[in-house]
């Protein structure tokens, strides 16, 4: 059977681009199909920990000087900003983990990855609307474009994945009960903000915020989260709605937040949205005969460990290696090995993300105990950061 492409990647986000690089470095022909006409993520930052940064380095993308390296992780109290607990990151972390913890603009990272994928492999403005698995290949259907037939397909098309429907049926992400909003704010908008280049987690009753410096530290990326008494009606039909900083400010003022954080919220520029935070339930399977899922499409976590992108990068690195090693006929074995090596870890990251979200927003008597326990955070989450997405030994198979 004629194939237009060998490996078709649906989605040109952080996971899809990393998978393309991983395969291209191993001389596997790929085509990335991305629905947007321009690769850009406006107005938000991303944290990449050592587990992601070391894999990107191995693929030739060095993050060390591309973003901000937070010197410390600081847990603070919501109403007065008092320090509850502080842990080193910076060079201490890099020396122990063998790769840095970097906070940066998502757009910067996406550009760095896209620069490594030659244009002829990247097809923008290609929205996949469906897939048909045929005996020798997979037919991809697009909105307003001719079909493409691929030998295998990987769906890295995010939490609302179209490819997932084909592989695992209708599985929808589940709301955690939290609403979040984010923004990028110039650091001088809030002169009282302590140590803006550090990674901050401020804990309040039914509310928490995470902020860090991005790029050269002149901008702050803020993620603020609250738990309303009941989820608003819009969450039943969509996962985000337009919002204003005045609405956000009212919620955080009412909860008694410190002025330094309220200043950040007041100064969020541009379009703002309230997101119903969601995670993906466990899927029955991650692949069908010739189609596999990776990244958020397979196991989207809540954002509270800052690991969604990291897990997508790990998936992409592992799957890229396995597909290349397996050669053109060995994709089933590659998919099975991939799923076996990734399922448990990504489940555990989802669990830890969920728990972290709850811990940051405790009320009443549980608070002093939680504060005491924040001393153990580096020890407790070390397994996430020191992980090496090792791949099995080479089978010696070659592509073309």
Ligand X SMILES: Cc1cc2nc3c(=O)[nH]c(=O)nc-3n(C[C@H](O)[C@H](O)[C@H](O)COP(=O)(O)OP(=O)(O)OC[C@H]3O[C@@H](n4cnc5c(N)ncnc54)[C@H](O)[C@@H]3O)c2cc1C
Q: Which residues bind ligand X (CB under 6 A)?
A: 10-16, 33-36, 46-47, 127-128, 156-158, 162, 180, 182, 223, 275, 295-297, 303, 306-310, 312
Token pair for 132: 């048909």
Shortest distance (Å) from residue 117 CB to ligand X: 13
Closest separation between CB of residue 369 and ligand X, Å? 27
Give me the least distance between CB of 400 and ligand X, in Å please: 26
* Residue at token pair 């006929």: 329
Tell me the HSE value of 332 on the side-chain side, using a 13 A CA sphere. 5
Pure H helices in the chain = 14-25, 50-58, 90-97, 106-114, 163-168, 245-254, 259-266, 296-299, 308-326, 331-359, 366-373, 377-380, 382-386
Sequence-distant (6+) residues with CB within 8 A of 53 are 63, 64, 99, 100, 101, 102
Residue 212 annotated among the catalytic residues of the structure: yes
The distance of closest approach from Cβ of residue 11 to ligand X in the complex, given in angstroms and rounded to an integer, is 3
User: Of the residues 93, 211, 212, 338, which is catalytic?
Assistant: 212
Antiparallel, parallel or unpaired: β 72-77 and 83-88: antiparallel
Neighbours of 341 (CB within 10 A): 18
DSSP helix/strand/coil, 354: helix
Q: Indicate the residue among 150 and 297 with the shorter CB distance to ligand X.
A: 297
Cβ count near 252 (within 10 Å): 22
How far apart CA 256 and CA 78 sit, in angstroms, is 8
Whichever of 137 and 155 has its CB closer to ligand X, that residue is 155
Smallest distance from the beta carbon of 30 to ligand X, in angstroms? 14
Q: Which is nearer to ligand X, 389 or 393 (CB)?
A: 389
What's the Cα-to-Cα distance from 92 to each of 78, 105, 266, rounded to whole Å?
27, 23, 34
Query: Would you please indicate which residues are annotated as catalytic (active-site) residues?
Result: 212
């Amino acid at each position: 059977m004629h194939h237009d492409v060998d490996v078709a990647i649906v989605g040109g986000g952080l996971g899809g681009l990393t998978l393309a690089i991983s395969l291209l470095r191993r001389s596997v022909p790929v085509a990335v199909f991305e629905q947007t006409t321009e690769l850009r993520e406006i107005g938000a930052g991303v944290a990449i920990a050592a587990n992601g940064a070391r894999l990107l380095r191995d693929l030739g993308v060095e993050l060390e000087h591309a973003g901000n390296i937070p010197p410390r992780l600081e847990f603070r109290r919501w109403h007065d900003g008092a320090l509850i607990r502080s842990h080193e990151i910076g060079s201490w972390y890099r020396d122990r983990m063998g790769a840095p913890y970097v906070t940066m603009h998502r757009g910067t990272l996406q550009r760095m990855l896209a620069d490594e994928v030659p244009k002829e492999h990247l097809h923008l403005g290609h929205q996949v609307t469906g897939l048909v698995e045929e005996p020798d290949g997979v037919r991809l259907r697009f909105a307003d474009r001719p079909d493409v037939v691929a030998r295998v397909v990987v769906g890295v098309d995010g939490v609302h994945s179209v490819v997932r429907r084909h592989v695992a049926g209708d599985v929808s992400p589940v709301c955690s009960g939290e609403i979040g909003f984010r923004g990028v704010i110039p650091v001088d908008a809030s002169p009282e903000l302590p140590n803006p280049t550090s990674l901050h987690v401020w804990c309040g009753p039914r509310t928490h915020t995470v902020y860090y410096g991005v790029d050269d530290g002149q901008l702050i990326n803020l993620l603020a989260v609250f738990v309303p008494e009941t989820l608003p009606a819009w969450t039943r039909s969509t996962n985000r709605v337009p919002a204003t900083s005045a609405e956000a400010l009212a919620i955080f003022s009412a909860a008694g937040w410190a002025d330094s954080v309220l200043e950040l919220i007041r100064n969020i520029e541009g379009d703002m949205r309230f997101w119903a935070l969601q995670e993906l339930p466990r899927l029955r399977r991650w692949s069908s005969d010739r189609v596999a899922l990776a990244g958020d499409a397979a196991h989207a976590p809540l954002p509270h460990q800052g690991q969604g992108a990291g897990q997508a990068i790990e998936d992409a690195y592992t799957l890229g290696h396995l597909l290349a090693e397996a050669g053109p006929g060995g994709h089933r074995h590659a998919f099975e090995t991939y799923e076996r090596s990734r399922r448990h870890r990504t489940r555990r990251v989802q669990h830890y993300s969920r728990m972290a979200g709850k811990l940051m927003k405790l009320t009443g008597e549980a608070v002093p105990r939680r504060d005491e326990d924040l001393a153990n955070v580096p020890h407790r989450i070390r397994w996430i950061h020191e992980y090496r997405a090792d791949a099995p030994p080479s089978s010696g198979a070659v592509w073309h």
